[in-house]
Each structure stands twice: as structure tokens, then as C-alpha cells.
Amino acid sequence: MTRATVKSSVPNVAVRTSTPSALNETSRERIVAALNERLAEGIDLHSQVKVAHWNVKGPGFPTLHPLFETFATALAQWNDELAERAVILGGTACGTTRIAARTSRLAELPLEVQRDVELAELLIARFDAFSEGLRDTRLMAEESGDIDTADLLTGILQQHEKHGWFLRATLGV
Ligand SMILES: [Fe+2]
């Protein structure tokens, strides 16, 4: 498990009453809070992937350097979608790097690990932790009747799991 134990929660900002959503306020509050947790982890993971892109060394460099950039580009897009969904539901996007550092449950990337294979293995563990949060939030959205948030998370998961496969296939595992 690559998640740290206890982290502080994202700021609890009241949701607006006027939104395009038909969901009740209680459901919107819960989903917004969960989306902000995923946003914090997405911002954390994006920064870790960029650090891996910059520092990776070894025979795998020609493959992994651009592959990590592909992952970072996708994560930046998904973070945007997670944040905007939170706002669509009447919430506030709590997406500063300071909030992300405080609330992300992903383990920090140790900077001393720079060898291609070891670095890719560390990213696999963090990719899986991010997936776990996305699945939990999708289930919460489904149970709250928010099929649109669930669909958004399914789309992100499909692409993110594909990237997890890219990493594993690159390592031959
Ligand atoms: Fe670059």
C-alpha cells in the first residue's frame, strides 16, 4: 500500500444552491469533497510523474522519458475535469499545490530513486493508489445517483489503467 495513514481533509467549502445539477445538496457536498480528494491526488501524481520524467536514468531513458510526459499530460487534463466537475456540482475546486500536499494520500516519491526500473515500479504503486481512490469515488457517485460523475470517473479510469498497463509492459511484468 502506497498511501500514507492519516491526512488532513480538503477544505469544507459550502456548495452553492444554484447549479445545473439535479442532485440534492447533501449528495453534492459528499461528491464534491471526494472529487477534491481525487484532485489532490491527481495534482500530487502529476508532480511525481514530472519529477520521474526529469530524473530518470538508465537504458530505459529513451522509452520512459517521453512515456512519463504522456502520463503527465493526461493527468493534467483529468485534474482539470475533476476540478470542473466539483464546480459544476456547486463546489469549490480546492486545487492548490499546498492543499494537495496536505491532503493527498499518495506516498511521496523518494528523489534518490532515479534508476529506470526502480522508478517505474514506484510509479506503478502510485498509479494503483490513484486508481483505488477513483474507484471509491465512482462507487459513491453511483450510490448517490450521480451517473455523470461516475461516467467521468470511468473514462479517467479506463485511460489511467491503460497507462498502468504501459508501465507494466515496459517492465515486462
Ligand atoms: Fe520535458
pLDDT digits (tens, 9 = 90+) for 5-38: 456 777 777 777 788 888 999 999 999 999 999 9
pLDDT in tens, 40-78: 999 999 999 999 999 999 999 999 999 999 999 999 999
What pLDDT does 19 receive?
Answer: 84
1 pLDDT exceeds 50? no
Share of the chain above pLDDT 70, in %: 96
Residue 69 Cα, ligand 1 centroid: separation in angstroms?
Answer: 7
Cα separations in angstroms, 104 against 5, 53, 74, 96, 113? 10, 20, 18, 12, 21
The domain 25-171: what is its CATH number? Answer: 1.20.1260.10
3 pLDDT higher than 70: no
C-alpha of residue 38 to centroid of ligand 1, in Å: 25
C-alpha of residue 62 to centroid of ligand 1, in Å: 12
Give me ligand 1 centre to Cα 72, in Å: 10
Rounded to an integer, what distance in angstroms lies between the CA atom of residue 30 and that of residue 15?
10
169 CA from centroid of ligand 1 (Å): 22
